[in-house]
Amino acid sequence: MTQIGIGIVGGGYMGKAHAVAMSAVGAVFNTALRPKLEMVCATTSNTAESHRRALGFARATADWRVLVADPLVEAIIIASPQETHRAIAEAAFAVGKPVFCEKPLGASLDDSRAMVAAANRAGAANMVGFNYIRTPASQYARALIANGDIGDVTWFRGEHTEDFYADPMLPVHWRSSGQANGTMGDLAPHMINAALALIGPIASLIAEVETVHPTRPGGTVTNDDQAQMMCRFVGGAMGHMFFSRVATGRKMGYAYEVTGTKGAIRFDQEDQNALWLYKMDGPAAERGFRKILTGPDHPDYLPFCQGPGHGTGYQDQIIIEARDFLLAIETGRAIWPTFQDGMEVNRVIAAAHAASATKSWVRTSDF
C-alpha cells in the first residue's frame, strides 16, 4: 500500500463528502493507494481551520494556489463553486497533478473545453463527480441495457427534480444568478450524464428553459428554475428529460424509465436500492414489473454490506467515486467519467440553451 496526499478545495457540503470518502475508501475497497487528508482550502482562514479540525486534515489554507503548489498534495479534489473550477484545474494540471472535479465541469462549455485540453496536455488522471449513476441499481441497469437484456432501446425518459426553491417566498441568494447556478447548471448535468451513460450520445434536441419565479424577496432571479427537452439519440431512441428546482414535493427526483423491444426498466433515486425490471418472457398472465432489491450480486454493493436489501446510501456513492479516482491514478488509465465525458454533458446543456432561445431543433454536434 502506498500513501497519497489529498488536497480538497472546499470543505462544505461536497468537500466534506469527499473528505469522508477518502478517509473510508481504503478500508471499504482495500485500495492500493491509501489517501492522507493533507490540506483543505476554504474562503477564509478561520473556515479552513474549522474544516481541518472537523474532517481530519493535516493543514489548512485560504488560498487554493498554496494547496495546488504544495509538494505533499499529490492529488486534488475540486469541490468549490463552478466559476472556480477552470483556474484550479489548469493550475493543478500545469504541475502534473491528478484532478477530480465536481460537476459541472466549469461554468461553461468553453471552460470545460479548456479543462479537457489541460488534462490532455498533462496526461494526468481526471474525473468528474457524477455520483448518482454509481448506485448499485443504476450500475446494474446500465449493464442490463448494454447486454441487450431489454432489447433495442426505443424510448428514454429522465428527470432530476427537487423542491428546495419551490417556495416563492424564499429570498434570492447565490443560486438566483449566474447560468451555471441555475437548474440547467446544477441539476440537469446529473440526468444528462445518466442519459449518455445508459443510452448513448444525443444527436439532436429541442428545449424550453424558464424561470418560474422571476422575483423573490430581496431581488430578481436571473437564471432558470426548470427546463425540459425532447431529444433523439444517435442510436435512434427517442427521449425526454425534465429538470426542476421548484418541483413541489420532490426531494431527490433523479428518476428514469427505459423502454426496449424486449423489456423495460424504471428507477427512482428516492428508492435508490431498488430497480424495477420488466421482461417480455414467460406466460402473458404472469408478466409485469418486478422490484429487484439490490444486494451483494449487484455492482459495488458487497464491499459495503453482505445483506441483500439492506441498502447503500448517498455517502457510499462518493466512496465508489473515490475508489475509481484512486484506481485511475494508480493504473494510469482513463476511468469513466473523465473530463471529456463532463464536457459532453456541457455540450448538451449549451445546445439546450440555444434550442430554447431559437425555439427550434438543434444538433449537438454544432456546439
- Domain assignments of the chain as residue spans, ordered by start: 2-132, 133-309+345-358
103-134 as b/e: b if 16+ CB within 10 A: bbbbbbbebbbbbbebbeebebbbbbbbbbbb
Look at residue 321 in the predicted model and tell me its pLDDT.
98
Which phi-psi region, left, alpha or beta, contains residue 291 (left: φ > 0; alpha: ψ -120 to 50)? beta
Residue recorded with cell 445518466: 194
Q: Where does 272-324 show beta strands of DSSP type E? A: 274-279, 290-293
The three three-digit cell numbers of residue 231, written as one number: 431529444
The answer to whether 213 and 168 are in contact (CB under 8 A) is yes
Alpha-carbon distance values, 87 to 98, 111, 227, 345 (Å)? 14, 9, 29, 20
Which of 45, 132, 148 lies closest to 317, judged by CA? 132
The answer to whether 6 and 77 are in contact (CB under 8 A) is yes
pTM of this structure: 0.96
CATH architecture under which domain 2-132 falls: 3-Layer(aba) Sandwich (3.40)
Look at residue 366 in the predicted model and tell me its pLDDT.
98
133-309+345-358: CATH number: 3.30.360.10
Strand partners, 264: 259, 278
Look at residue 1 in the predicted model and tell me its pLDDT.
77
Spell out the per-residue pLDDT of the chain, length 367, in tens. 799 999 999 999 999 999 999 999 999 999 999 999 999 999 999 999 999 999 999 999 999 999 999 999 999 999 999 999 999 999 999 999 999 999 999 999 999 999 999 999 999 999 999 999 999 999 999 999 999 999 999 999 999 999 999 999 999 999 999 998 999 999 999 999 999 999 999 999 999 999 999 999 999 999 999 999 999 999 999 999 999 999 999 999 999 999 999 999 999 999 999 999 999 998 989 899 999 999 999 999 999 999 999 999 999 999 999 999 999 999 999 999 999 999 999 999 999 999 999 999 999 999 9
